[in-house]
Structure 1
Amino acid sequence: MKRITINGNEIGLLIKDEAPIRVLTTGKHWIGFGKKYEIYDITKPFRSAFEIDLLLQIEGFKERVHPVEVGDSEICIVAMNHNFKEILGPGRYIFWKGIYEYTFQIEDLSAIEISERVSKVWLNFAVFSNYVRRFTVAPSERALMFIDGKFNQILEAGEYTWWKNSTKIDIAKADMRLINLEIIGQEILTKDKAQIRINFSAQYQVLDIIKALLNNKEFEKQLYVLMQLALRSFVGQLTLDELMENKVEIAEHVISSTADQVDLLGVKVMIAGIKDIILPGDIREIMNQVLLAEKRAQANIITRREETASTRSLMNTAKLMEDNAMLFKLKEMEYVEKIAEKINSISVSGNGQIVDQLKQLFVK
């Protein structure tokens, strides 16, 4: 015989013939010959070599434990004292009653949707990464969701989480902001056989994400080709002079001529324009010479116009002075004053009018 003590945080099992037969509760117990015992600390996880079904058949054992059974396509979220503790995979588990308050939440992973019972805070824990797939759609984006290759729904901006299982989920995103499209280095032969290079720019926006991503493959490349072909076609019908004079019309034509096809891509071209027209060196030199000649001709015209105006003004002044002696005298004094400003000193002696003497002096 052996006497043992079971403390308040313990539970014992009396074992006979290698099988548990009775629960030993708090207190003192005598263990007879041919019998064994095991003592379990109920503040620690349950560990036993005996089958759970066998233990649950013992009188008084089932009332002291939480039996948990998790199916093949399930997980069990365990919370202890209202705080997350662990995730249980498929299998059977035992948790002790009495010390801690446990809650057990079974979740079906065969469906992709995560129920509202699962706290979003818990989903951010690292342990959930093995069971949850996460997708982010930025504020400037929209996305298409495909389940097993089939279109399911349009996703607005936000965070999305689904259970990780055999179901395949794909996300295709599109930026809904204004996007710049650059068509650079386009070598085009004009109507008068001048070879030029054009850099063209356009801004577009995705309006229909289903058309853009579901009905078309690589809609950005298709848009580029449409704009490129329209640009090359229209420029090829113009002479070099017409091209230089009608840059705005070129952009308007490219937008209008591609509008229907662009709509099928689910986008809209907002603005477009030619950024640069790069001419070959010899043509550029000729155009510079033409421009220089034009500017010289304009300068000559302006010079002749000013000379004519000046001569006309002098003639008008001469006629006025011819008819008005006082005006003639005033004009004489004005010129004498201008000349005197450039002379440091003048000595005048003798009788007579000073102005007349100065006039005679300057005339000599």
Structure 2
Amino acid sequence: MVTVMPYERFVHYRHGAFVDVLEPGRHRIWGFWSHLPPPRHPRELFEVRPQEVPTSDGINVKVSAAAQLRIVEPVAHVEHAADPQAFLYDAVKTWLRDEVRARTLDEVLAGITVDQTPAAIAAAATEIGCEISDFGIRDVLIPGEIRRASEELVAAQRQAQVALERARSEVAVMRAMANSAKILEDHPMLASIRLAETAASHGGTVIIERPTA
């Protein structure tokens, strides 16, 4: 007797020939001539470890990917390749390398958008009896010296922005002071009133003498 769990599918062979796919439940298998390859979970996370690839401008980066993998054709999964996962892994590596090599470092860091599973990867998954979904780039790692240089560039740009804003503020203050001075020069009485207000606010007294006629 063979018990197939809800998350398993067994491919049943007898004398080397395909018989059927055993669905979840208990099955009676007769004779030693029957063969049941070890089952895989029908749904699992598929991951590609970081691959080091040069960008189009010659900077080596490490890129990884991940997806959801579901076995939909157990027979094809067993018969197509000795190691189905390795077959698909190689297809994803090839796609990653082609995509990164076609982009500059800035383009790679901006993100490689994947709206749907690339055709070449989907085809490879179909060959091993699988369906792939939620495919995407997981991580992009750049060399330490490049990362530090990028951080220093960002810091320098921010410092330059702060200095520019400070200079703009100083110019605005100087322009306002120049305008005020021009107004007071043209209207002396305003200068006297302003002086009186300033003195009063500090508890002082201002005596303004009117010119004699």
> Secondary structure of the equivalent of 1:213?
helix
Structure 2 gaps of 5+ residues are: 207-213
**In structure 1, what is the equivalent of residue 39 of structure 2?**
173
Q: What whole-Å deviation, never above 9, does each CA across 1:68-108 have from its counterpart, x for those lacking one?
A: xxxxxxxxxxxxxxxxxxxxxxxxxxxxxxxxxxxxxxxxx
> Secondary structure of the equivalent of 1:139?
coil
Percent sequence identity is 24
Is the alpha carbon distance of 1:206 and 1:302 closer, same or farther for their aligned partners in structure 2, counting shifts above 3 Å?
Answer: farther
Q: What amino acid is aligned across from residue 233 of structure 1 in structure 2?
A: D
Note if 1:155 corresponds to 2:41.
no
Tell me how far 1:142 sits from its aligned partner. Answer: 1.8
Does the CA contact (< 8 Å) of 2:88 and 2:121 recur in 1?
Answer: no
Is the alpha carbon distance of 1:318 and 1:254 closer, same or farther for their aligned partners in structure 2, counting shifts above 3 Å?
Answer: farther
Note if 1:358 corresponds to 2:187.
no
Note if 1:210 corresponds to 2:75.
yes
> Secondary structure of the equivalent of 1:175?
coil
Q: What amino acid is aligned across from residue 158 of structure 2 in structure 1?
A: K
Does the CA contact (< 8 Å) of 2:55 and 2:105 recur in 1?
Answer: yes
Task: Decide which structure has the larger Cα Rg and report it.
Answer: 1
Cα distance between partner residues in 2 of 1:313 and 1:186: 59
Q: What whole-Å deviation, never above 9, does each CA across 1:331-352 have from its counterpart, x for those lacking one?
A: x58xx9xxxxxxxxxxxxxxxx
Q: What whole-Å deviation, never above 9, does each CA across 1:24-66 have from its counterpart, x for those lacking one?
A: xxxxxxxxxxxxxxxxxxxxxxxxxxxxxxxxxxxxxxxxxxx
**In structure 1, what is the equivalent of residue 151 of structure 2?**
288
Tell me how far 1:147 sits from its aligned partner. Answer: 1.6
**In structure 1, what is the equivalent of residue 210 of structure 2?**
none
Is the helix fraction higher in 1 or 2? 2
Q: What whole-Å deviation, never above 9, does each CA across 1:280-335 have from its counterpart, x for those lacking one?
A: 2332222222122222233334445666677788899999xxx9x8xx88xx58xx
RMSD: 3.5
Is the alpha carbon distance of 1:168 and 1:142 closer, same or farther for their aligned partners in structure 2, counting shifts above 3 Å?
Answer: closer
Does the CA contact (< 8 Å) of 1:172 and 1:213 recur in 2?
Answer: no
Q: What amino acid is aligned across from residue 112 of structure 2 in structure 1?
A: V
TM-score normalized by structure 1? 0.46
**In structure 1, what is the equivalent of residue 162 of structure 2?**
299
Q: How many residues align?
A: 198
TM-score normalized by structure 2? 0.73
Q: What amino acid is aligned across from residue 131 of structure 2 in structure 1?
A: K
**In structure 1, what is the equivalent of residue 97 of structure 2?**
232
Does the CA contact (< 8 Å) of 2:87 and 2:124 recur in 1?
Answer: no
Cα distance between partner residues in 1 of 2:172 and 2:20: 79
Cα distance between partner residues in 1 of 2:164 and 2:120: 44
Tell me how far 1:241 sits from its aligned partner. Answer: 1.3
Cα distance between partner residues in 2 of 1:153 and 1:194: 51
Cα distance between partner residues in 2 of 1:244 and 1:142: 41
> Secondary structure of the equivalent of 2:112?
helix
Q: What whole-Å deviation, never above 9, does each CA across 1:223-272 have from its counterpart, x for those lacking one?
A: 11100111011111211111112x232x4586234222322222222123
Is the strand fraction higher in 1 or 2? 1
* 1:88-237 superposed matches below 5 A: 134-163=1-30, 165-177=31-43, 179-237=44-102
Bigger relative contact order (CA 8 A; separation at least 6) = 2
Does the CA contact (< 8 Å) of 1:149 and 1:170 recur in 2?
Answer: no
Structure 1 gaps of 5+ residues are: 1-133, 337-354
> Secondary structure of the equivalent of 2:106?
helix
**In structure 1, what is the equivalent of residue 209 of structure 2?**
none
